[in-house]
Every structure is written in structure tokens, then in C-alpha cells.
Amino acid sequence: MLDIRFLRENPEVVKENIKKKFQDSKLALVDEVIEIDQSRRASQQEADELRRSRKTLSKQIGALMAQGKKEEAEAIKKQVQENAIRLGELEQMEKDFSKKVTDIMMVIPNIIDDSVPIGKDDTENVEVERYGEPVVPDYEIPYHTDIMKKFDGIDIESAAKVAGSGFYYLMGDIARLHSAVISYARDFMIDRGFTYCIPPYMIRSDVVKGVMSFAEMEAMMYKIEGEDLFLIGTSEHSMIGKYIDTIIQDTTLPQAMTSYSPCFRKEKGAHGIEERGVYRIHQFEKQEMIVVCKPEESMDWYNKLWQHTVDMFITMDIPIRTLECCSGDLADLKVKSVDIEAWSPRQKKYFEVGSCSNLGDAQARRLKIRYVGDSGKGFVHTLNNTVVAPPRMLIAFLENNLNEDGSVNIPVALRPYMGNKEKINCQ
């Protein structure tokens, strides 16, 4: 959420940013919120004047009563009563105006970084760099669920009977591989200085509204019926929520954490044939990175975060690339974002396996997360990045490590988590 003072002083900058994000329908909101804010400030100013006059008039009443001028004192009392009624009206007006301002400010997009490429949607995202050599073997790479089935490693049919579509049972070596990847990712980030955390898997509505846009919330979140609770779509939500309504000493910043959680997502809409199996599902597990820092540090941290993911995938023998998200593909709270895409030898193209985002102070303003200290004071900046999300990562892992005989190689880095096996063999 933008600072209303910034919008008030720089309306054309905000409008130009809206245009860059191809959200022209929101342009009128800028003038609308300025007008409402003017009304809010006018009502606040009048209310403040009435509060000041109440003290003055009260003193006058006391003085007149002491002088025996009861009739004059009664007249002023009547004025005080009328002022009190008007003050009540103004306070309600101020409250209503403030809510309208907040509601509008919540949907006006954050100012994107100057380095973000301008484009309408994800088809205009820009490749930054490739890591590892993409290989297409001279033997067939089956669809990922078919690979898993050869290991007796997945059961989608039974899961559909138990929970419906979008769920699965993982079993045997495939289930072990899934857990191994999570454990390895956890230790990889701990070794890089991040604090390990397991957060709550449910959050309240005030946290939901603080960490994401309304459109994202509607598309992603599962609501617990009868409770002010939502299942998290990523541990970033509850990790940032940890700081709600706090003032952090600058000497304790930055705070870098890596968190594990299951994730729950609606994943609404129809998807293509390549998104069957475990590509888009309602429940999965993920290892995440979260950083809370001072504003001047956030871009340095942004570059560190996505590099950690690149480094980890390289150790897993999976070719990847980084893809800069264009303006139209950025969620409203994001300042800058890069996707990590893994090579699919079966599809002969890259597909998304993670995303790194700098949200500036957008979440901090919504959740009232500030810092103070000798370096100054203000709202912190928040960042997040996927270390690994095994369902999609498993697809990339299996395709890139599959041998012609159906066995799957285990990279050296992962072997301690797989009983020191060098490969797993199909049934």
C-alpha cells in the first residue's frame, strides 16, 4: 500500500505507474482518493477546532457561573452541546472517509522499480540468465506421473476418492525423495545463515489483507468456515504476519529466515495438459526464504535471495534460468520479481519452479511493521523467495535425472538424505 502523502504529492507518478501495469481502469481512483482524503482532512481539522473550543468554552462557563451570570453561562452550555453533536458527526465522517481512503489505497498498485521491463503479461517476461546445459536425451522422457508410477510412487486415483481432484498419495522412494529435497533445502539455507522456522499454517483475516491483494486472496485462499482463519498458501504469509504491529530495533535488522510449511491453494480455473499430475495441486509443501530489512538494504537482499535458489538447483543437476517479471505480470504489492524456471527435457522448454519478490514497504504499511534506531525510523521492507517446492521440483528432478533404463540418479548433494543411494530403481 502506498503512502497517501506520496500519492497526494505525486498523483501523476502514481497514474503513470498504473499505466505501466496496464490497469487503466484504476486511474480514476487516484483523483477519487485525493478528493476523499481532502474531505477527511477537512473534517478532521473542523473536529480539532471544536475540541479546542470546548476547553475555552468550558472555562468561560465556569467564569460566568462564578460571576452569577447564569443566563449567559446557559447560552454557552447550549453552544457546547451543539458543538458536541457536530463533533460526533465529524468523528463519524472522519472514520468513514478514512475507511474509504484505505479501501482505495489497498487496490492501487505499488510503485514498481525503474528496472522492471514493461509488458502486459507473462508472455513479455524477459530472460536474464541460464545456468547449466539443457539436454534432450535420445530416449523418451515419460510424463512425470508415469515416471512416478513405475516406482509405485504415486496414487492419484485413491486420493481423488478421499479428497477429490488436485490431491495425491506419494509413496516409497518418490515420497522419500520428496522429503529428502525439503530436508536438503532446509539445511542448505541454514548453512547460508538463515534461521529455520516452522510457522502457523492458518492466519487471521487482518494478516491476509496485510500480505496480499484482494484478487490474490480470492484466487488462492481457503477460508475456515465459522472461523476468522485462512489456510496459508505459502509460509511467507504467516512469517510476515509474525511482525504485525511491531516496532523493530534497527540493530536487529536484517532478519533472514527460512520456513517450512504445507501450502493450500484453490488453483481456480482450467489448466492445460502439461499442468496435470502434481503440477497444479491444492496441497503441497515448500521451503521458503523471508527477509525483513531496512529500505536501503532490500535490493541487495533481493539479488542474494534468487541467487541462493540458483545455487541450490545447480547442486541438484537441474538446468535453470532466471526470468524477469514484466510490469503487467507483477502482483500489485510487488516492486520487482524474478521467476526461477527449470528445464524440462520432455517438453523441451523451461517451466516455473519458484519466484523471488521484493515488496518494498507495501506489506509493512498494511501490517504496521516499523523500525527505529540510530539509523532512523520508518517502515521495513519485506522480501520472499521460494527455496524449493517439491511437487514442481520433483517434475524437474525426475526428468533431468532419468536414465534410459528407468532408474533415476541421485545427485551427490542429496545422497545423505536418501540413505546414500546413488540411484533409485523402478519396480
DSSP 362-406: HHHHHHTEEEEETTEEEE-EEEEEEEE-HHHHHHHHHHHHB-TTS
Cell triple for residue 103?
479501501
Task: Give the separation between CA 8 and CA 332, rounded to whole angstroms.
Answer: 19
Each residue's pLDDT, cut to its tens digit, for the chain (427 residues) gives 899 999 999 999 999 999 999 999 999 999 999 999 999 999 998 888 888 887 777 767 767 676 777 777 777 777 778 778 888 888 899 999 999 999 999 999 999 999 999 999 999 999 999 999 999 999 999 999 999 999 999 999 999 999 988 899 999 999 999 999 999 999 999 999 999 999 999 999 999 999 987 677 777 889 999 999 999 999 999 999 999 999 999 999 999 999 999 999 987 544 444 556 676 788 999 999 999 999 999 999 999 999 999 999 999 999 999 999 999 999 999 999 999 999 999 999 999 999 999 999 999 999 999 999 988 899 999 999 999 998 889 999 999 999 999 999 999 999 999 999 999 998 6
Superfamily for 4-105? Serine-tRNA synthetase, tRNA binding domain (1.10.287.40)
Q: How many residues does the chain have?
A: 427
Task: Give the separation between CA 205 and CA 293, rounded to whole angstroms.
Answer: 24
Helix (H, G, I), strand (E, B) or coil at 247: strand
- State the sign of the Cα–Cα–Cα–Cα dihedral 122, 127, 133, 137: positive
CA 316 → CA 71, 320, 365, distances in Å?
90, 11, 38
One-character DSSP codes across 63-99:
HHHHTT-HHHHHHHHHHHHHHHHHHHHHHHHHHHHHH
Task: Give the separation between CA 135 and CA 346, rounded to whole angstroms.
Answer: 10
- State the sign of the Cα–Cα–Cα–Cα dihedral 194, 197, 200, 201: positive
pLDDT for 270: 43
Strands 255-264 and 195-197: parallel
The domains of the chain are located at 4-105, 122-424
Superfamily for 122-424? Bira Bifunctional Protein; Domain 2 (3.30.930.10)
